[in-house]
Amino acid sequence: MQDFRTDMADERRDIYKKANNLENEIPGIKCAELQKKENVKLTVVDILDKQGEKALGKPIGKYMSFDLEKLNLADEDEIEDISEIISKDLKEIVKAQIDDDGEILIVGLGNQFVTPDSLGPKVVSEIEVTRHLIKYAPECVVPGARSISAVAPGVLGTTGIETFEIIKGIVDNVKPKLLVVIDSLASKSIQRISSTIQISNTGIVPGAGVENARKELSRKTLGIPVISIGVPMVVDLATITDDCLNLFITKLQDEAKSNDYLNTLKNQDKYEDIKSALIPDNYNMIVTPKEIDELIENMKEIVARSINYAI
Amino acid sequence: MQDFRTDMADERRDIYKKANNLENEIPGIKCAELQKKENVKLTVVDILDKQGEKALGKPIGKYMSFDLEKLNLADEDEIEDISEIISKDLKEIVKAQIDDDGEILIVGLGNQFVTPDSLGPKVVSEIEVTRHLIKYAPECVVPGARSISAVAPGVLGTTGIETFEIIKGIVDNVKPKLLVVIDSLASKSIQRISSTIQISNTGIVPGAGVENARKELSRKTLGIPVISIGVPMVVDLATITDDCLNLFITKLQDEAKSNDYLNTLKNQDKYEDIKSALIPDNYNMIVTPKEIDELIENMKEIVARSINYAI
Amino acid sequence: MQDFRTDMADERRDIYKKANNLENEIPGIKCAELQKKENVKLTVVDILDKQGEKALGKPIGKYMSFDLEKLNLADEDEIEDISEIISKDLKEIVKAQIDDDGEILIVGLGNQFVTPDSLGPKVVSEIEVTRHLIKYAPECVVPGARSISAVAPGVLGTTGIETFEIIKGIVDNVKPKLLVVIDSLASKSIQRISSTIQISNTGIVPGAGVENARKELSRKTLGIPVISIGVPMVVDLATITDDCLNLFITKLQDEAKSNDYLNTLKNQDKYEDIKSALIPDNYNMIVTPKEIDELIENMKEIVARSINYAI
Amino acid sequence: MQDFRTDMADERRDIYKKANNLENEIPGIKCAELQKKENVKLTVVDILDKQGEKALGKPIGKYMSFDLEKLNLADEDEIEDISEIISKDLKEIVKAQIDDDGEILIVGLGNQFVTPDSLGPKVVSEIEVTRHLIKYAPECVVPGARSISAVAPGVLGTTGIETFEIIKGIVDNVKPKLLVVIDSLASKSIQRISSTIQISNTGIVPGAGVENARKELSRKTLGIPVISIGVPMVVDLATITDDCLNLFITKLQDEAKSNDYLNTLKNQDKYEDIKSALIPDNYNMIVTPKEIDELIENMKEIVARSINYAI
């Protein structure tokens, strides 16, 4: 399988099509775009069958990505607007999985002390939990309110425990009917950092974005449906250098100033020695906008409200 | 049983002795004091049997409380000194429960966003976890290193889930041999706020200090030994007003200016209407030193190092 | 002069009237109350002349205090509502001092790392400053926009410099036409902690609430008008014990169970030894609601929006 | 003048030598290297005269850069060690400027809410200020103690006021004999991010590292000597893409697979269209190690201790 270096289904589709010179849709994939609002674009990628699954390296299911433009400048009204738009689609996805009163557990993955990995825990702290009220103070909730609980399990590096092990334990004890998991993702596009939300009705592999791959959270492993909400927070520096060199060679070709060697080099990921010369060993270099702290605050608000409104 | 309004075993002993006019030791209790260092005093209360358990309202076991004077002014050297003193006693307690290589899970109770309730999560973030290294990168740890993991499960009010339910789930999956639980406690003494550490070899009831009582974490409920490390972080305002009125009547008596009514009133907790006039309904009023943020930072360092050195 | 132990003009008026058994208004004082909204009450105290100034120990001017009920439970809509109400009155006060385009410097006093002293710096971080845009990027602001700048000068204990010295230096260089100062205050009422806003058109003495008195920021010392916005953040523990004992004696009197000695004691602040027995020397004990962190977040929003809307 | 895209004197020297194919030292420059400790390398660049000044685009003076290897893994002992090494050299530089009892003002530049720009304010919060004690509580300091004050003036974007205007006002009022300024710098080397400290006896231009150039803080503008302590915190993404393309062409040349066009392209900064294709307009993209939060904590400790020990 291709190494996509992105967790975004729509980016994988683009890469696959380009790499395979496909003009038409990839077999097993359906895709639609929708301008929800002047600055909110929705791309829906449906992975329909095993063939599509194999092409994109992601499980069968629906992947909605909302691109939010100029989010760092969004004011309170705009945040509210966007949250309402997203919550409607999220509500549909939730409805397709469980009853209106089915208990939900929200899980915020990531390390709250590492800025680009802190979205999950931050969102969890804004979720309106009701499970304890229903249990211990039913007079404080409207009758028939859905039971909501929320946890931020931390990351392997600070707990020493696989996220899956912690969540499995909680699911076994709390017995929710649905899991909603929030995580940071990797993207190939700098513009999408903290500016795009991908919602899918399939599970998630914790740390896929910024840590090593770990055991997935999904219906297969947990026995209940899992909706995942992911936001690209980093672009790997190696991705950027790759893009940079490809753009460079394309430009040389366009200007008829390339040569045979360069032509064979392109799109072949053979720049390992350049990357290793650029990127020091001991560190995990990421590219991020300087405005990241502000972007995360706005994104946290949008994701938290979308969830609170939807459930 | 008496309402002690304190989680500290030595304070309960004092209150019980005074309330029952005991000159000698309470049956079923043993107590010793030790000046460990100029500014570190250790009080050990042993609850020996059911009689002692009933008197103090705490389970049979050993309760060590370390009083640290002028902790807000402690410098790096002093923090290191105190940590070493405490870690030695903690090591003994751990040794009495499990083998040198028995796996330990550290649990930091409390809400990190509420200053006087944030000690547990803060300590957890300083624990040197090894469980994942032993499992996935054994070359990074010394051979025979003890497996350590650490979690901060959050509080009922923000997760919607009982702390016990979360910890039970993790214990069932991770299967540690010992739990070390860090929590905020209530004390009757203003001086002890963030300046005293109580270590006991019995379990703990999460939120006893600052929230309503919940299901205990103990060998009985979890099947493994539990060591608890508690630090008084708040004094209830009602406790202060009680103390204030008692001191006042004592003073009047001393000066022969009391009267019969006052004499019967004393020590009887009948000031409910005064307290309700002073303390507004909607809030949970606490008394805290203005220097609390600094005190917590120093205390966090001491507890974290004591644990890291001991295990 | 009486030691009021509160910075709130309306509380001082109550204390003065009670202490002097006044049924009518204090000479030199005018007072009015206004229910602005179900949960927003405004009390306006006007100190009209030297006589009023002497009685309340505060300079001639207008003191508006807005009491906000159940602020810890306020949602986004309510915060917006309250902010609009307050901003209208604040706008009037600003208008009375300077032209619509007169430059304003906002100053947030206090220590951002000490929770009950952090309101000023927190509000400053939410102020929409325009001075640099008008100077360097005039195309980014609407024509005729007022020049706004904002600083958080820190506190004497962490800078080593008097707040007055820092502000004087900045005022001399930036030359604003008006200063708006935000600070934490002391109150005698627990209910008002982070739930009341006092706006006055007189200066302020930095640290009056939670530190020792320092050189005032006022038209007299700075040469420009100063509007101060203060929020009670702490009640001194000594204040509580006083109130407690007074309530106690009142109650005994009501029940005809007092005696001559107690009657003379009342309202005389002679409980120094009780207070010193209760309150340890080395610490500055304060009473605060456990929900303080949440209250401050809501209050920060209200004060920041009130200012942003008003100017 | 060349656009160096780095604030580090030693990097500028390397670039200048390479660009001008110099084998010997640049006229007007002196340079020495010293391995202070296994993992601490010191490079001293002396700009001796106008010629050197013009070559490197930095004022005459001494620039010491300490490279600290694997700082993210440094433990307490190592941090102490490194701090002592640096404080010795810093002490020499201070001694050369003022008497042992000359008053010093420490200034921490940068925005505390933007992680890679937060070093200055973080260091300031760790400085042991004495000025207020000497003035108001002389019994709390040793006789003859130097008067130290410290401020974090914020950044233009959040205060609306030029850093120079704020500092000028404070210097005029406080009248220190020496300024020590801490700031974030730009480097061309990813390895140096939060891992190198440059100390110089010349002034500094606030925001040179991460914001637009502003009015300098120097003896010329403030009338007192200025020592600056800078730490590279970001590498511009454009710098990386440049390096990437240069490395690429060099490699093609080495393998004899380049062509004439590429050869002329090299080192000529003509890739503007590639960079603009890669880097979105609205954002200021930076490259940073994912471990940046941890690196800053360690760096903060080292800089703060170096200053506290040296003065």
pLDDT 10s digits, B220-235: 899 999 999 999 988 8
CB < 8 Å from C in window 92-121 of D: 113
Q: What is the pLDDT of residues A118-133, one digit of tens each?
A: 899 999 999 999 998 8
For chain D, residues with pLDDT lower than 70 are 1-2, 206-214, 261, 264-274, 277-278, 280-283
Q: What angle do CA A142, A146, A147 make, to 5 degrees?
A: 110
H/E element holding B38?
Answer: none
With CB atoms and an 8 Å threshold, state whether B156 touches A130.
no
Q: What angle do CA D240, D242, D243 make, to 5 degrees?
A: 65
Which of A209-218, B122-131, D280-289 shows the lowest per-residue confidence on average (mean pLDDT)? A209-218
Residue B266 has pLDDT above 70, yes or no: no
> Cα separation of A291 and A72, whole Å?
7
User: Is residue B272 helix, strand or coil?
Assistant: helix
Taking CB atoms and an 8 Å cut-off, how many pairs form between chains C and D? 95
Does the beta carbon of A249 lie under 8 angstroms from any beta carbon of chain D? no
What b/e readout covers D268-301, taking b as 16+ CB neighbours within 10 angstroms?
Answer: eeebeebbebbbbeebebbbbbbbbbbbbebbbb
Q: Give which of A289, A290, A207, A286 is closest to A240, Cα–Cα.
A: A286
The string of DSSP codes covering chain A is --------HHHHHHHHHHHTT-SSPPTTEEEEEEEEETTEEEEEEEE-SHHHHHHHTS-SEEEEEEEETTGGG--HHHHHHHHHHHHHHHHHHHHTTS-TT--EEEEE-S-TTSGGG-HHHHHHTT----HHHHHH-GGGS-TTPPPEEEE----HHHHSS-HHHHHHHHHHHH--SEEEEEEEEE-S-GGGTTTEEEEESS-B-TTTTTS-----BSHHHHSS-EEEEEEEEEEEHHHHHHHHHHHHHHHHHHTT---HHHHHHTTS---HHHHHHHS-TT--EEEEETTHHHHHHHHHHHHHHHHHHH-
- Its ipTM equals 0.83
Q: What pLDDT was estimated at residue A266?
A: 62
Name the residue among D234, D240, D289 with its Cβ closest to that of A278. Answer: D240
Q: Give which of B7, B51, B8, B14 is closest to B29, Cα–Cα.
A: B51
In the predicted model, what is the mean pLDDT of chain B?
Answer: 86
With CB atoms and an 8 Å threshold, state whether C257 touches B257.
no
Half-sphere exposure of D84 (CA within 13 A, CB side): 6
With CB atoms and an 8 Å threshold, state whether D160 touches C129.
yes
Q: What is the pLDDT of residues A279-288, one digit of tens each?
A: 766 667 788 8
- Chains adjacent to C (≥3 CB pairs closer than 8 angstroms): B, D
Residue A212 vs residue B294, higher pLDDT:
B294
In the predicted model, what is the mean pLDDT of chain A?
Answer: 86
Neighbours of C162 (CB within 10 A): 23
H/E element holding D142?
Answer: none
Antiparallel, parallel or unpaired: β A196-200 and A61-68: antiparallel
**Closest residue in D to C134 (Cα–Cα):** D160
Q: What pLDDT was estimated at residue A182?
A: 95
Residues 6+ apart with CB under 8 A from C76: none
In the predicted model, what is the mean pLDDT of chain C?
Answer: 86
Residues A203-207 have a mean pLDDT of 71
The tokens of D68 are what?
């600290």
Q: What pLDDT was estimated at residue A119?
A: 93
Dihedral angle over CA of D131, D135, D141, D145, nearest 10 = 60
Q: Do C173 and C39 meet the contact criterion of CB atoms below 8 Å apart?
A: no
Q: Which chain C residues are within 8 Å of D174, Cβ to Cβ?
A: 161, 165, 169
User: Is residue B49 helix, strand or coil?
Assistant: coil
Q: What pLDDT was estimated at residue D119?
A: 93
Residue A45 has pLDDT above 60, yes or no: yes
Residues A2-19 have a mean pLDDT of 88
**Closest residue in D to A262 (Cα–Cα):** D257
The tokens of C286 are what?
């304060």
CB < 8 Å from A in window 139-178 of B: 147-154, 156-162, 165-166, 168-174
Name the residue among D252, D257, D289 with its Cβ closest to that of A284. Answer: D289
With CB atoms and an 8 Å threshold, state whether A132 touches B157.
yes
Q: Name the DSSP letter for residue C34.
A: E
Q: Which chain C residues are within 8 Å of D170, Cβ to Cβ?
A: 161, 165-166, 169-170
With CB atoms and an 8 Å threshold, state whether A150 touches B159.
yes
Q: What pLDDT was estimated at residue A269?
A: 55
The tokens of D109 are what?
């530049």
Task: Tell me the pLDDT band of B77, cut-offs 50, 70 and 90.
Answer: confident
Q: Give which of A58, D149, B288 is closest to C154, Cα–Cα.
A: D149
Interface test with B, best of C73, C189, C244 (most B CBs within 10 A): C244
- The domain ranges of chain C are 9-236+288-310, 239-281
> Cα separation of C211 and C110, whole Å?
9
Residues A11-19 have a mean pLDDT of 91
Neighbours of A19 (CB within 10 A): 11
Name the residue among D130, D159, D171 with its Cβ closest to that of C151. Answer: D159
Sign of CA dihedral B257, B262, B267, B273: negative
**Closest residue in B to A148 (Cα–Cα):** B160
Residue B271 has pLDDT above 80, yes or no: no
Does the beta carbon of C305 lie under 8 angstroms from any beta carbon of chain D? no
Per the listing, tokens 């392997």 go with A156
How far away is chain B from the Cα of C70, in angstroms, using its nearest Cα? 8
For chain C, residues with pLDDT lower than 70 are 1-2, 206-214, 258, 261-262, 264-274, 278, 280-283
Q: What pLDDT was estimated at residue A287?
A: 83
Which CA distances in Å does A223 have to A168, A173, B167, B213? 10, 13, 21, 33
Q: What angle do CA D216, D295, D197 make, to 5 degrees?
A: 40
Fold of B9-236+288-310: Rossmann fold (3.40.50)
Q: Give which of C183, C148, C145, C127 is closest to C304, Cα–Cα.
A: C127
